[in-house]
Chains A and B, each alone.
Chain A
Amino acid sequence: MTSAPPRRPKVGLFVTCLVDLMRPAVGFAAARLLSNNGCDLVVPPEQTCCGQPAFNSGDREDTRAIAEQVIATFEGFDYVVVPSGSCAAMMKVHYPELFAAGSNWRARAEAFSAKVFELVSFLTDVLKIEALDARFPASATYHDSCSGLRELGIHDQPRRLLAGIDGLSLTEMKDPDVCCGFGGTFCVKYSDISNAIVERKAANITASGADTVLAGDLGCLLNMAGKLKRDGSAIKARHVAEVLAGMADTPAIGEG
């Protein structure tokens, strides 16, 4: 899977439902990162969502139907790239589990799964990019989103690329790998507990002294940014792709 990519690989960008609706800038940043680094990029217009809300709510039948649709839409590409560790893990790790062993859909899901990559790890592990030409004058701290970290092993890749960004200094917060309390529907269903968890996260971000918090998952970012803003904090929140693509001159998440 990490062998050299075909010359100008044909890449399908899955933008994720949250990026599509809540933060188009991440989609544009992802598209630019892929196009500028030698990919033949397509954004299939039929895409919706990876099915995670149904999956984690125990609704296997709808999850399967959505997975079939995603697979059918994207299986023709050399790679499927997703600017979210959580959605990428859904497609890469969990899609095959949805179908009976030995079935035709299982085989298609497995072949599809092998092509799915989270954006930053695709840049480093597949395209073998060591450094990107971008400038971002800020002091930032990086939050490890849980699925990307534990299901896909994304830890060093974003830090490595961020270290090469002109003007950026990276400071680690305490417990960067502890959940921010988002958890999909968890944050709404168990709102008070989610709040207690994001309060700690916000405190750790603040204590790091950084002026910006970066992460690879929009869910976590909306949660952290929403909390920081509610508390009146000036700390900005951005998706790591915006910084890596040199597109971080737009308003941060939740700012006018």
Chain B
Amino acid sequence: MQITAPKFKENATKALHDASLQKALGNVERGFVAKRAKAAAALPEFDALRDAARDIKNHTLENLDLYLEAYEEKVTAAGGHVHWASTAKDARDAILDICKTANARTVTKGKSMITEEIGLNDHLEKNGIHPIETDLGEYIIQLRGETPSHIIAPAVHVNKEEIEADFRRVHTHLPKDRQITEPTALLSEARVVLRQEYFNADVGITGANFLIAETGSSIIVTNEGNGDLTQTLPRVHIVVASIEKVVPTLEDVSTILRVLARSATGQDMSVYTTLSTGPKRPEDPDGPDEYHVILLDNGRSSMLGTEFQDMLRCIRCGACMNHCPVYHAVGGHAYGSVYPGPMGAVLTPKLWGIDQSGHLPNASTFCGRCESVCPMRIPLPKMMRHWRERAFEAHQEPAAQRYGLSLWAFLAKRPKLYHLATGIAARGMAMLGGSKRRLSSLPLAGGWTKHRDLPAPEPKTFLQQWAEGKR
């Protein structure tokens, strides 16, 4: 995808003025937050499960090479193939290769953020292969030529009226006078259209929520069942997953699954939890003839052993963005990256460089709500702060900001000078505030006074008054 993270501010301002987007964003807040809270409250051991899930993933990351090797061995033993991809290009090439060997013309896809990350759809299309998204949300945004604005609800920014218009524009073979104003009617129509595509497809591509070292299985969770049809009907199934998706055992996965759906949608479990282990065996009634796994690194291994390692625990539930006031205000597209919200603010600079994505870890109030709901207890604000440190060391912020900060720090380290300066500032601002005791404009504080008044201070600071004996 095209990374527009450098234009985050412009994107955000545009989003704030987009009435239809603002209406749609209300759904994130109203829907997901209350549902997660209810699901968490209904499970007394929820927090203990979060700790257990965190520990499982920490242990796995400490021994990632061993578990990946064990996983590969099991996949191979089950008759599947593992393809290691260091970069997005490696992954795209490997997938295209498999598709070409299979003479594929149509490829169905289960929802997969990792294929968004590697820009797979464009690549397939350029090479004459038609990818069809089968997750309803992904299907809608594919029709619109857009990218997901949320990692579990890719079309959360679209209203149902817009979807109706898109369906009428694209599904021209259907009667013009059909009624598709209701969500269920839209769903039925998409289901009918997609059903044919499942049969047409030569290759099915899915992501993986987890890879299990113990058995060589991949797991996808969906609410629509589209993943199952994607991976069982075509001749070839390709799983695309990043290396940190591996967990040691089935038992471990069952622990993490218990926090995943609750955190994401407030469900106890997703409607479908599908395990795939290798291609169809002789006694199986159905399934693919070939089973491939693309294991993508794309910068993940370079996070190991650094201050960003904890991010690799992420299970992509989206709870952080569902609870983020900044995400609520601007939506996912404003971030201009594949992964939006707090988790994206940490992951994106790793994928595309902090020089491209410096805004993302900065555009947070550090309110900490993301960390408080993260099922894997990832300290997201702390890691955003680490990115700010990297950006600061690289002198990335605007000069005025940097000088302002260093002047302030210079004073803060010198109490006498500091108090001289605050004394002058208090007197000055008190004077400007006049009898109304507030400022509606102030030099150098335009960011504040554009939207808010600034309550004026008293002419003397607290420390001045205290020194003079006022109590």
In the complex, chain A residues 140-183 whose Cβ is within 8 Å of any chain B Cβ: 146-147, 150-151, 177-179, 181-183
Nearest Cβ in chain A — how far from B224, in angstroms?
31
Question: At the interface, yes or no: B470 with Cβ under 8 Å from chain A?
Answer: yes
A229 touches B455 (CB 8 A): yes
B residues in contact (CB < 8 Å) with A: 9, 12-13, 16, 325-326, 328-330, 362-369, 371-372, 385, 387-393, 397, 401, 405-406, 408-409, 411-413, 415, 418-419, 422, 425-426, 435-438, 440, 445-448, 450-458, 460-463, 465-467, 470-471
Using known A-B contacts A58-B390, A189-B401, A190-B12, determine if residue A178 contacts B447 with beta carbons closer than 8 Å.
no
Chain B residues with CB below 8 A from A15, complex form: 462-463
Complex: chain B residue closest to A70, CB-CB = B412
Which residues of B have CB within 8 Å of A17?
412, 422
Q: Is the CB of A150 within 8 A of B364?
A: no
Q: Are A146 and B365 in contact (CB under 8 A)?
A: yes
| Given A54-B405, A59-B405, A62-B409, A147 and B368 contact (CB-CB distance below 8 Å) | yes
Cross-chain contact A53 with B408 (CB below 8 angstroms): yes
- A–B pairs, 21, beta carbons within 8 Å: A45-B463, A48-B413, A48-B418, A56-B385, A57-B392, A57-B405, A58-B385, A65-B409, A66-B412, A146-B365, A146-B369, A147-B368, A150-B369, A183-B366, A190-B363, A191-B448, A193-B16, A195-B450, A197-B365, A222-B454, A226-B448
A146 CA to B75 CA, complexed, in Å: 46
Shortest Cβ distance from A59 into B: residue: B392
Seen from chain A, the residues whose Cβ lies within 8 Å of a Cβ on chain B are 15, 17, 19-24, 26-28, 31-32, 43, 45-49, 51, 53-60, 62, 65-66, 69, 146-147, 150-151, 177-179, 181-184, 186-198, 222-223, 225-227, 229-230, 251, 253-256
Q: Does the CB pair B392–A183 fall under 8 Å?
A: no
Given the known inter-chain contacts A45-B467, A47-B415, A58-B389, please indicate yes or no for A226 contacting B368, CB distance below 8 A.
Answer: no
Distance to closest chain A CB from B442 (angstroms): 11
In angstroms, how far is the closest chain B Cβ from the Cβ of A246? 14
Which residues of B sit under 8 angstroms from A65, Cβ to Cβ? 409, 413
Interface of A is mostly: helix
Chain A's nearest CB lies how many Å from the CB of B398?
9
Known contacts A21-B422, A69-B413: A146-B455 contact under CB 8 Å: no
A150 to B381, CA, bound (A): 12
Chain B residues with CB under 8 A of A177: 369
Q: Chain A residues with Cβ under 8 A from B387's Cβ?
A: 58
A188's partner among B413, B415, B448 (CB-CB below 8 A) is: B448
Chain B residues near A32 (CB-CB < 8 A): 471
Does B369 contact A179, Cβ atoms closer than 8 Å?
yes
**Are A198 and B451 neighbours in the complex by a CB distance under 8 Å?**
yes
Is the CB–CB distance between A150 and B415 below 8 Å? Answer: no
Residue of A nearest to B435 (CB): A256
Nearest opposing residue in chain A for B467, CB measure: A45
- Contact with B405, one of A53, A150, A194 (Cβ below 8 angstroms): A53
User: 6 closest A-B pairs (Cβ-Cβ)?
Assistant: A183-B365, A226-B452, A58-B392, A58-B388, A188-B447, A254-B455
- Residue among A21, A146, A187, A188 making CB contact with B367, cutoff 8 Å: A146
A254–B330 touching, CB < 8 Å:
no
Contacts of A178 on B, CB cut-off 8 Å?
Answer: 325, 367, 369
Bound CA–CA A20/B412 (angstroms): 13
A53–B418 Cα distance when bound, in Å, is 15
Residue of B nearest to A63 (CB): B409
Determine if B9 and A190 form an interchain contact, defined as CB atoms under 8 angstroms apart: yes
* B-side contacts of A27, CB under 8 Å: 462, 466
Question: With A and B bound together, what is the CA distance between A151 and B381 in angstroms?
Answer: 12
Cα distance, A46 to B458, chains bound together (Å) = 20
Min Cβ gap B379→A in Å is 11
